[in-house]
Amino acid sequence: MSAPSVRRRVLYGGTFDPIHTAHVEIARAAGVQLGANLVSLIPAADPPHKPAGAHASAEHRLAMARIAVAEEPRIDVLDVEIRRGGTSYTIDTVLALRDGECRGEQLMLLLGQDSLPLLPTWHRVRELAALIPFAVAPRPGADEPPWAVLAEALGEEPVAGLRARWLRTPSFEISSTDLRLRRTEGRSIHCRAPDPVVDYIEEHGLYRPAPQADSEVC
């Protein structure tokens, strides 16, 4: 009798502020190309590389992520970072999942190409690179990664694996920054985010500019 196969899970972290169509399409592509049983979106609680913090609360961002993939059988959402709270360091998340709800699974970390230049500044990044293999989702317009710097920070072997797992994903000129800007300017975000997410944003009045107080005339 053959032993059951190990479940493969791709971890796809981000602020998801808000989640948009490209996030979902990238997760789908990663699941297929990396042979994963599941791709798990992991909304950050307090992302250390975004000095301004998140624009929507963790609860809203978590709810939108869940709504966006509710009909996706191979994509789920893990709230490990939001439950933990505070600054979200990737290595803490990976260790918690490895020893907790993902125990016994084969894990892989999916990164956006635009995040690669920041990798050398990540908390305990060499230890992280030894702990879990990385895959990369290309980003239109992103610069060529600083391979020599990455090799020095992570080690030659993890970077070679990273380069080998460069996904082929649909090209989208969509970003969360653009969606927030459109909202503040009163423009539509339909077709840029899943319809249930657009409805949620409208219902909760997210990403609207703060009302200006009337200036008092003396």
The predicted-structure confidence for 94-151, as pLDDT tens digits, reads as follows 999 999 999 999 999 999 999 999 999 999 999 999 999 999 999 887 889 999 999 9
Q: Where are the domains of the chain?
A: 8-204
Q: CB–CB of 133/108 below 8 Å? A: yes
Q: Is the pLDDT of residue 158 over 90?
A: yes
- The residues, any chain, with a CB within 8 Å of residue 50's CB and separated by 6 or more, are 15
How sure is the predictor about 170, in pLDDT bands with cuts at 50, 70 and 90? Answer: confident
pTM of the entire predicted model: 0.91
Q: Regarding the domain with residue range 8-204, which homologous superfamily does it belong to in the CATH classification? A: HUPs (3.40.50.620)
pLDDT band at residue 210 under the 50/70/90 scheme: low
Plot region of 82 (φ>0 → left; ψ -120 to 50 → alpha; else → beta): alpha
Provide the pLDDT for residue 53: 59
Q: Per residue in 142-156, pLDDT tens? A: 889 999 999 999 999
Tell me the residue ranges of DSSP E strands in the chain: 8-14, 38-43, 75-77, 106-112, 134-137
What percentage of the chain exceeds 90 in pLDDT? 80
Of 169 and 195, the one with more pLDDT: 195
